[in-house]
Chains A and B, each alone.
Chain A
Amino acid sequence: MKATGGITFAIAGYGLFSKFAFAKENEKSQEKQITAWVHLDTTGQITIFNPAAEMGQGSMTALAVLVAEEMDADWSKVNIDYSPIEPGIYGRSWGRGRSRGGTMLTVGSYTVSGYYDNLRHAGAQVRYVLLHNVSQKWDVPLDQLRTSSGFVIHDASNRKISYGEIATFATVPAQIPEIPEDQLKSPEDFQSIGKYLPRYDVPAKVDGSAQYSMDVKLPDMVYAVISRSPVHGSKPSILNENIIKEIPGIVDVVALKHGIGIVAESIELAIDTRKKLEIKWSSREKAETHNSSTAYADYEKIASDRNQRGNVIVDKGNVDDGLVSASKTYTYDYKNDYVYHAQMEPLNAVVSIAEDGASADVWVGTQGPAGARSAAANALGLKTSKVKLHCCYLGGGFGRRSMSDYVSEAALLAKAVKRPLKLIWTREDDLQYGAFRPMSLQRMQAGVDKRGNVIAWQHDVVGTGGRLLATGASTNYYSFPNQKIQVIGVDHGVRTKHWRAVGHGPNKFAIESFIDEIAADQKLDPVTFRKNLMKDFPRALKVLQTAADMADWDKKSSNGKAKGIAFGERSGSLVAGVCEISIDKVSSKIKVHRIWAALDAGIVVQPDNAVAQMEGAIIFGMSSILNESITFKNGIVQESNFHDYPLLRMADAPESIEVKIIESQEPPSGIGEAGLPWVGGAIANAFASLTGKRLQHLPFTPEKVREVLES
């Protein structure tokens, strides 16, 4: 944190303290009171501290905009720096509100919504302090002063003073009043929120200077790679340790519970030497029996057993009665393979332990700085207060960097060799020791009465990964009188993890495909059919209608193309979208030509960035829908790099992605993942409209397309 001349504001629940006052007077209560820091120097430069990870989602800029807006700061004078890692101070709430402290995890697209009230309030308190100081200095009532873009202005005497000048004499009162909600700006007065502002981090990401932990280089630093368990849980015994250790430039060979680390003077030597390791792995781990391609057959059996009781998410009315009394029932299964995060920067971390062993520095890109710090501290046998975490930009997170396994590893290796150390996961490591979005089978059942109303809806999710399967299974915006949703877990002993939008991807794919299948059978237009189900939810209706209008839904595509629509929600935001696709006759590849999507995310702080997030999530979603699949054979991941785990490339991106943000004064909701969940259903529905056949198993590779077309 910078601390040159000027004032640092610690914005507190019931007080705003200067840096020094804060340190002295609030030793006991600091954890509860303080939520954000603003530093103002005498040249007018403002530093706003960012408590969230920046992994491309843009919240580093958005959060600073919230503070700057209420401060009436001149945006060109704003610098953004990482906040200290004090979750009790800089954490966010999970919902809305001004409660201070909480988690510092950057997950679930909660950052802007979780800090929205707090940081605007923080900005308003800084503004109050500036006004208060000028009011005393000029001896004019505070309510005769106003602020505008970095100045306090007294119209009556035609005087104005810059924030930088105020910093030369300002003192920070011991107690700053809470600023009541109604004294914050009302949305019509916003200067920055909802307007175009370029992202703070973009220039450094265009000239190569943005620092990722991968880019940290320390004097005397050594490099490490690890050979990790091919089957999760298996333990290594190294057979040729002495031979390896004798190779010039090898610093050490370090046995870990789940692998063997090679530490070398250069990264190329570490990678080369790893190939020479002879390791015997322990056997009979649970994961060893797992074959992902045959697991679906077991899932089907489980889903067919009506006595199976899972973790019930929704149980409303009586689904069994509803199905029995229905005039027509439908049952379909949908499947999704494991998928891998594939964040572009492979996992890595840099650890440097002080010579006396009593403290350490860690450089890392992490979605959970507090967890990463604890992981390092535990590995090093230090208190967390002795570990200084240097947060770096994340070359993608998508959920993978909310784990800290790679930080523990780096710390253990650095501890073993007592030298600054950079641990790099190669792409193969990152993929094969991944923690995947789980595979699952969704058994969907519905009953429809004579008039075409869906009177029963049952959704059984069977798969591995526990609660990761549950998110997005609820149909929050469709009303069904009788409904049951449950997750039936099967443990395969493999690593699973949150992956952008978590369960929403597979679940919305199943729900939105199923809705379309029923609509088609009922000879109803899929938009009309959905609108009937949504009639109690005006926001959802508007989103759906907007997307349909954008895509000119009623006009059929020609030239071998067809459109499909789907609806989704995530992190409180609503999205509906339309895809227009065709199928290449020769390759059987699905080509997505155009996409139209409507987003209701409440107040949108950075609209251009919101559009960028939508574009990104849509392409990320398309990649998972069309290309991505991880296969386990006897517990071993079969894919290894981008040649056999292909990500979507530019040639397969849509010709256009049109995004419309619906004007709203509702509180902000999350955007980074909301663009993803609807994509699978929309592509599957477009495919059905084009061919009359259903794709029910993700991903829709050319082989699967061919299979379905020939069936």
Chain B
Amino acid sequence: MDKSTFVIHVNGQKHRVEVESNTPLLWVIREHIGLMGTKFGCGVAQCGACTIHLNGNPVRSCVLPVSAAEGSEITTIEGISEDNSHPLQKAWIAEQVPQCGYCQSGQIMQAVALLEKNKKPSREEIITHMNGVICRCGTYVRIIKAIERATLEG
């Protein structure tokens, strides 16, 4: 397939990339632009490790073609704060959530999107919203605690 030029906006910056139009946004963000915080876990929208925000909504970048992302505001884990100061990042550290850490960018991006829409989610709302992001290390209990902490302290 032929390559085309795409201009995509990530964390407030413009990037021009030369790729095939069906290239998953995940590879564009990681391997073309070099922002490595967003992870590859399954490639088929099953695990959530690749979660980013597209105009504020959490999406799985592994199944989003780059052509569908043009003109949208993309936010990655690198874009939510400069210094781990987002209330969720602080809560994540306070609760010592990560183990291997590989799923955590996706977890945090999914959680950020929740709190932007719903300042005081119930436990059930947290679980429903977060259920798509797998953590093999089993940090779920602490993820819930961290989100609850952030809603109190946020």
- Flag if B23 contacts A650 (CB, 8 Å): no
Residues in B with CB closer than 8 Å to A268 are: 19-20, 23-24, 27
Binds A, one of B53-61, B97-105, B114-122: B97-105
- The reply to whether the CB of B151 lies closer than 8 angstroms to some CB of chain A is no
Report the Cα distance A555→B148, complex, angstroms. Answer: 31
Known contacts A266-B19, A649-B132; can you find 11 more A-B pairs with CB under 8 A?
A56-B100, A204-B101, A268-B23, A343-B136, A344-B41, A615-B141, A641-B43, A647-B134, A651-B127, A651-B131, A657-B141
With a cutoff of 8 Å between Cβ atoms, the chain A residues found around residue B134 in the complex are 344, 642, 647, 649
Is A206 a contact partner of B23 (Cβ separation < 8 A)? no
Closest CB of chain A to B94's CB: distance in Å? 9
Q: Interface stretch among A19-27, A210-218, A376-384, A446-454?
A: A210-218
Contact status B136-A207, CB under 8 Å: no
A57 within 8 A of partner (CB): yes
What is A's interface to B at a CB cutoff of 8 Å?
55-58, 198-199, 201-212, 214-215, 217, 223, 266-269, 342-346, 393-398, 424, 426-427, 608-609, 612-613, 615-620, 623, 641-643, 647-651, 653-654, 656-657
Are B37 and A207 in contact, CB atoms less than 8 angstroms apart? yes
Evaluate contact between A620 and B127: CB separation under 8 angstroms. Answer: no
Q: In chain B, what residue has the closest Cβ to A675?
A: B138
A208 lies within 8 A of B137 (CB) = no
In the assembled complex, the Cα of A642 lies from the Cα of B103 at a distance in Å of 14
Q: What 9 A-B pairs have minimum CB-CB distances, sorted nearest first? A: A208-B37, A619-B138, A205-B101, A395-B102, A56-B99, A56-B100, A208-B77, A215-B36, A205-B98
A249 to chain B, nearest CB (A): 9
Partner of B99, one of A212, A346, A426, A616: A616
- Minimum CB–CB distance for A223 against chain B, Å: 7
CB-CB < 8 A to A654: which residues of B? Answer: 141
- Chain B neighbourhood of A204, CB < 8 A: 101
Interfacial chain A residues near B23, Cβ < 8 Å: 266, 268
Which residues of B sit under 8 angstroms from A206, Cβ to Cβ? 84, 89, 92-93, 97-98, 104, 108
- Please tell me if the beta carbons of A266 and B102 are within 8 angstroms of each other in the complex: no
> Closest approach, in angstroms, between the C-beta of B154 and any C-beta of chain A?
16
Interface size grouping (class) on chain B: 35 or more
Contact yes or no, A207 B40, CB < 8 A: no
List chain B residues, Cβ under 8 A from A56.
98-101, 137
CA A199 to CA B96, docked complex, whole Å:
7
Task: Point out the residues of chain B lying under 8 angstroms from A426, CB to CB.
Answer: 43
Query: Inside 8 A of B144's CB, which chain A residues have their CB?
Result: 650
Assess the A650–B44 pair: CB atoms within 8 A. no
Question: What residue of chain B has the Cβ atom nearest to residue A54's Cβ?
Answer: B100
Q: Name A650's contact: one of B43, B99, B104, B143 (CB within 8 Å).
A: B143
- Whether B137 pairs with A616 at a CB distance below 8 angstroms is yes
Q: Once the chains bind, are B84 and A344 in contact (CB under 8 Å)?
A: no
Q: Which residues of B contact A395 (CB under 8 A)?
A: 39, 100-102
Q: Find chain A residues with CB under 8 A from B98 CB.
A: 56, 201-202, 205-206
Q: Of B30, B101, B105, B108, which one neighbours A201 at CB under 8 angstroms?
A: B101
Docked complex Cα distance between A109 and B40 (Å): 27
| Cβ of A111 to closest chain B Cβ, rounded Å | 14
Near A by CB (< 8 A), chain B positions 49-77 give: 49, 76-77
CA distance A215 to B29 in the complex (A): 12
Looking at the assembled complex, report how far the CB atom of B55 sits from the nearest CB atom of chain A, in whole angstroms: 20
Interface contact B108-A643, CB-CB below 8 Å? no
The answer for the CA separation of A381 and B31 in the assembled complex, in Å, is: 29
Does any Cβ of A come within 8 Å of B46's Cβ?
yes
